[in-house]
Amino acid sequence: MPDNSSSSTSAGTSADPTFRLGGDLPVNRLGFGAMRLPRKDLTSPVRDPGTGRAVLRRAVELGVNHIDTAWFYRYEDVAANDLIREALHPYPAGLVIATKVGPMWDERGVPRGQARPGQLRALVEQNLSSLGLDRLDLVYLRVGGMSGPGGESIAERFAALAELRDEGLIRHLGVSNVDAAQLAEAREIAPVAALQNDFHIQRRGSAGLLDSCAAAGIAFVPFFPLGGGHDPIDPARLTEVAKRHDATPAQVALAWLLAASPALLAIPGTGSIEHLEENLAAAHLRLTDQDLAELDT
């Protein structure tokens, strides 16, 4: 569990609302995740692409300069990368786009195993082409399937991405769904700018990794900041704190993340402008020490 007494001030805020990703890319710590642009979840119908483009434009208007995506965030004929390119290209100065590679998908759009080292170049090139870029700001090696991290070496695959970084196709590298040993393995090969694991107010198994990342200057990016899949956040435990601040439980959950560590970057995703504006307003929510203590019991 993060030590909020040391990572937040008496007003419940982290030291800085921005983070220098990879040491040279300043981003606001509350960004945007593109996974929900094609559809709300795995059982929902496809969303209107026009709405997705409007959400992206509004996100940038509201100060988002860190968008997290992946080529495989797609359903039917709607793909997150296409929407990002159509809505925002040519990209505004300072916009950082992060993507991830590793999972392989069959013709039905179902994940089927992981890419071998020799297959990663094609996946990186898919992202470059679909986003309309010559170089990707940040590429994560996404490890494993839907299960938790650990249990396999990532050295050969991460080394393959490091070669693409050396060629200039990638600016910074990250790892996703990894444990401490896998993070250490990657850092022996090339600098790691960011780590993306499952983490939120009710799921804190990666708290030790969060501390390690903060100490090393590595961004920690929860891929389910508001819960997801079979692990949703229970809003009831957030309700009292939310009432005190005239906020929503989701806003409190995001504010808790931002208070947990100055290295934490939150990327809540949505296909709704209303929910987007609600999420981004959490950047201005200041939790007190009392709030944090209640949320940690």
Model confidence pLDDT, tens digit, residues 216-234: 999 999 999 998 766 778 8
Distance CA 198, CA 26 (A): 23
Residues whose CB falls within 8 Å of the CB of residue 133, separated by 6 or more in sequence, listed in order: 97, 127
Mean pLDDT of 95-110: 85
Question: 103-105 and 111-114 as β-strands: parallel, antiparallel, unpaired?
Answer: antiparallel
Mean pLDDT of 245-252: 97
| Neighbour tally for 250: CB within 10 Å | 21
The yes-or-no answer on residue 140 being catalytic is no
Model confidence pLDDT, tens digit, residues 126-156: 999 999 999 999 999 999 877 778 889 999 9
Tell me the pTM. 0.93
Query: Closest by alpha carbon to 186, among 219, 154, 209?
Result: 154
Contact 252, 286 (CB under 8 A): no
So what's the pLDDT on residue 13?
A: 46
Three-state DSSP state, 45: coil
Would the pLDDT of 15 be above 60? no
Mean pLDDT of 46-75: 97
Helices (H), the chain: 4-7, 49-61, 80-88, 120-131, 155-166, 180-187, 207-216, 239-244, 249-260, 273-281, 289-295
Quote the CATH superfamily of domain 4-295: NADP-dependent oxidoreductase domain (3.20.20.100)
Of the pLDDT bands very low, low, confident and very high (cuts 50, 70, 90), residue 107 is low
Distance CA 218, CA 192 (A): 7
So what's the pLDDT on residue 70?
A: 96
Distance CA 97, CA 85 (A): 11
Distance CA 220, CA 19 (A): 10
Q: Any idea which residue has 């982290």 for tokens?
A: 14
Percentage of the chain beyond pLDDT 90 is 82
Sign of the alpha-carbon dihedral angle for 82, 84, 89, 94: negative
User: CA triplet 72, 282, 6: central angle to 5 degrees?
Assistant: 100
Distance CA 266, CA 169 (A): 25
Distance CA 297, CA 294 (A): 5
Written as six digits, the tokens of 74 are 């797609």
Mean pLDDT of 30-37: 97
Least confident of 11-20, 138-147, 148-157, 177-186: 11-20
- Ordered by start, the domain boundaries in the chain are 4-295
Model confidence pLDDT, tens digit, residues 66-101: 999 999 999 999 999 999 999 999 999 999 999 999
Mean pLDDT of 1-25: 61
Q: Please provide the size of the chain in residues.
A: 297
Would the pLDDT of 200 be above 50? yes
Contact 221, 194 (CB under 8 A): yes
Mean pLDDT of 32-60: 95
Whether the bond between 90 and the residue before it is cis, its omega within 30 degrees of 0, is yes
The H or E element containing residue 28 is strand 25-28
Contact 4, 41 (CB under 8 A): no
DSSP assignment of 136-202, as one string?
EEEEEEE-SSSSPS-SS--HHHHHHHHHHHHTTSEEEEEEES--HHHHHHHHTTS---EEE---BTT
Of the pLDDT bands very low, low, confident and very high (cuts 50, 70, 90), residue 14 is low
Of the pLDDT bands very low, low, confident and very high (cuts 50, 70, 90), residue 197 is very high
